[in-house]
Structure formats: C-alpha cells, structure tokens
Structure 1
Amino acid sequence: MAMMGTAPCLLVFLLLPAFLGGLQREDRVLGGSECQKGAHPWLVLLYYFDKHYCSGALLNQNWVLTAAHCSMRHIQVRLGEHNISTSTGYEQFSTVQEAIIHPGFVDGTSGLRSYENDIMLLRLKPPAVYTSYVQPIDLPTLCPLPMGTTCTVMGWGTTSSPEETYPNVPQCLDITTVPLAQCQATYPEKVTENMLCAGGAQEGKDSCQGDSGGPLLCNRKLYGLVSWGDFPCGKLGQPGIYTNVCCYLDWIRTTMEGV
C-alpha cells in the first residue's frame, strides 16, 4: 500500500448554496445529526458578504484547505464556530491574505466547469490562535484509503433537498467509501482517481448544498473535501464525490512551504 501520497493519481458538478445562483448542487449534510460542540475544532466556515457558502479544514495556524470551486473575491473565515445564530466568545475571524487554487482546476469563466483538482489553500490573516475550539486536522499518512472505510462528513449545508433548509449548527454524518469503479459506473466519464466516493447506501443520507469544501474525516484524518454529486441529494445508489486529499499531499506541502 502506497504511503504519503505515492498512490497513483490522475491530474465533474458543485455543491454551493442557491443564493450564489445556478451552480450544480453543492454539498450539505443530509440525514445527519448535530455535531458535538467542540469535537471538530478544525472545521471552519467560509463567508461571502456575511453569507455562509462553503466550509473548510484548518491545517495549521496559517492555512485552511477547501474546494477550489469555493473561490470568491472576498472570503471571510470563521473558526471555532458552532451555532452561527449566537456568539460564544470562542469564535475567531480572519480574512484571506492569499487564495491558491490548484493549477489544474478549470474555473467557470469559459462556461465549462471541471471538478478535477477541486482543491484550494487559503492563507489566513491574522493567523489562527489555537484553543480548545480551534485546532488543526492531520493530513493522511496512509494512502490510498481502503475502500469500505467508515468516514464522517460535516458541515452547515442544507438538511433537505431539493428544498433547502439550512441549520444553525453543523451536521455530522457517518458514510462509507465506495470503490472507484462502482462510482465511475454511476457517473460515467466524470469520476477520476483524484476523487473519493462515499455514501449512497441509504436514501436521504448525503452531503449537499452549502457543504462544499468541508472535510471528510476517516480515522480522524483529512481524506476528502466535499466536491460534487447528484441533485437532489441523498438518492439511493448515488454517492457523493470528494476531492481525494491523498492525491495532493505533495502539492499541499510544497505550496505551504513556498510562501
């Protein structure tokens, strides 16, 4: 089994809230339950003009990892957040000093959108301050991830589909990874080895709009980022698609070290 990103990885649908307009389904957690407060201190919220639209994962005091399709001109980052309708005093707020999108990602300016290489690093200003509510998540050390692994996806995305209902607190859902060949048969010519597939075994349980960029945790390590999927969310036999973090370990480390 290959280690630390040596797995073969090749060099596609989004999951954003409706207020951003006409994009493919972005991910939220459908069929989950409220995450335990403080149990996921690496989970961050991304805001655009005071509207939550994506999530991400804190890698260290300076960097957040999220999906490239979450790129916006003015991104606000909230750390240590749980109930977005109230303030606890544990929250931290940063702006994005620099957003670095994977060079292989194709944006929507041409009218086409590819979910290949759907990954982006955000450099925080000011840096995060570690507390019991703000902590980094570990990157994978064992790659590739064995199929059939039970993982947890989380976020503040819609809890209903196709109608959208957004919760004030993050939702967590345990889902199982799906073999790539099975996923490719479900989504012909869209799924590559740079993606992970998970869920689809139970009706009504999935990530969905508003969950984009959020973490897929397997063995308490960051193996995936919510990327895209079918709409409406939660269809039986239709897994969600996640950016395969194992395929980008070298890019992540090189990028962070080079700034």
Structure 2
Amino acid sequence: MLRGFQCREHSQPWVAALFDGTRFRCTGTLIHNRWVVTAAQCNTGRLSVRLGEHNLWHLDWSEQLTLSSRVIPHPYYNSSSSQNNIMLVKLLVPAILNRQVELLPLPRSCPRPDSTCVLSGWGTSIFQHLLHSDVLLCGNITVLPDAKCQVTHPNRITPNMICAGVVHGGTDSCQGDPGSPLVCQRELQGIASWGFEGCSRPNRTGVFVKVCNYIDWLRDNMKSG
C-alpha cells in the first residue's frame, strides 16, 4: 500500500498476516474459522498466520497465532500471467471469533464498476525502499470498468481479474501487498495480485483476483479439505 492511511485499530478484523518464518510474506483474509484466502504467489509451504493484528511488532493481546496445516494453491495458477492467483490456507488451530477476529463473507455477486471499496494490508509504505508498514494500512479505491482496465493493462487482463485504484494517482496496491483484501460493502471482492513499477501513479491501477469467479472452487476445497 502506498499513500494509504493507518486503519482504525481492528476495523478490518478479517485481515490475516502471513509469515514465512519470521519474515512477513503476505496479507490474507479469514473467510472461515479454519480457512484464510490469499494469493497463490504467497505459497512458501508452511506459513505462520497471525489474526487480530494491527501493529506487527507490538503485542496487544488481541492476536491469535497459529500455523498452516495445509495450503491449496489453485491448480491452474500461472506465475507468469498471474492467472488464478488464489490460494487457501487451512489453519492448524481454528480461529476464535470475537471483536478483533471476524469472518469476511464471500461475495453474493460480482462488483459493480465505480464501486468504492477498501484495500487493507501491511504492504509497501515507502516505495523507494520497498519496506512494509508496521501497522495495518487502509485505502479507499474504486473498481474500474472492464474496458478501462483493458486500456490500463493491455493484453494482460483476463475475465478472472479486476482493476481498482485511484485514476488520478494516490492510494493503490503496491509491491509488498499480495493477498490483500479488496472489500466492497463488507464482502471480499478482490485479492491483490499484481501491480506495476511506479504504482499509485496516475492511470496505473492495481489488479486483483476476481473472487466472485472462484466461489465454487473455494467452497468445494474448504468442504473437502
């Protein structure tokens, strides 16, 4: 996230911080008390999962820490094109739901163009140094029409992707933000997938997994996993 603002503490209680050992890796979203969804590019094998987080390096006793017992990347994930960049992470210990840890519903329909949504994550806060933020950052961004998305990223957008951002520059998904949730009307509509060099520049928008196209895959794997 670049030029985002600090989220009100625990205002995004479904957000998960994913670590590879002690290294922050990605952001994810709690959609079931045993399952987090994130980007397939975050697959490093066994992940550590923190729920109820705000400041990654400050203990405030709201955190729940566990490990992944299984990761299920989409079988047709393509790292070159970022097609099907979605992955389920099964928690070794179920989440305890409370005010700081909540589930985010999957979408009942696909997002409408020009919808205003919230992007949150611990991604890059200082672009030049590619550092992640200690605290959870939020940003208000807009879903673009498919035609404008195609113009912004010619020959790269598939029907399983959506674009969102600030057309005139500003808050946007940025390097360091894979897996971050795009929340529209308290539903998970997007998973931050890929951006571009110089993100948050005018007419450069982030590209997200279009979650509404993966409902059956998510439910089938959570049921059988």
Aligned counterparts of 1:44 and 1:81: Cα–Cα separation in 2: 7
Alignment correspondent of 1:33 = 5
CA contact 2:130–2:176 (8 Å) conserved in 1: no
Deviations 1:219-239 (A, max 9, x none): 111000000011121111011
Unaligned runs of 5+ in 1: 1-28, 108-112
Unaligned runs of 5+ in 2: none
Query: 3-state DSSP class of the match of 1:126?
Result: coil
Aligned counterparts of 1:81 and 1:144: Cα–Cα separation in 2: 28
Aligned counterparts of 1:200 and 1:33: Cα–Cα separation in 2: 14
Alpha-carbon deviation of 1:96? 0.8
Query: 3-state DSSP class of the match of 2:66?
Result: strand
- Give yes or no for the alignment of 1:206 onto 2:172: yes
Alignment correspondent of 1:9 = none
CA contact 1:139–1:223 (8 Å) conserved in 2: yes
Q: What amino acid does structure 2 have at the position aligned with 1:96?
A: S
Alignment correspondent of 1:86 = 58
Alignment correspondent of 1:62 = 34
Alignment correspondent of 1:71 = 43
Q: Percent identity?
A: 38
Alpha-carbon deviation of 1:106? 2.2
- Give yes or no for the alignment of 1:159 onto 2:125: yes
Aligned counterparts of 1:207 and 1:144: Cα–Cα separation in 2: 20
Q: What amino acid does structure 2 have at the position aligned with 1:77?
A: V
The total of aligned residue pairs comes to 225
Q: RMSD over aligned Cα, in angstroms?
A: 1.1
TM-score when scaled to structure 1?
Answer: 0.84
TM-score when scaled to structure 2?
Answer: 0.96
Aligned counterparts of 1:84 and 1:163: Cα–Cα separation in 2: 19
Alignment correspondent of 1:125 = 92
CA contact 1:212–1:225 (8 Å) conserved in 2: yes
Alpha-carbon deviation of 1:152? 0.5
Q: After superposition, where does 1:43-192 map in structure 2 within 5 Å? A: 43-107=15-79, 113-141=80-108, 143-192=109-158
Query: 3-state DSSP class of the match of 2:126?
Result: coil
Match of 1:229 among 169, 178, 195: 195
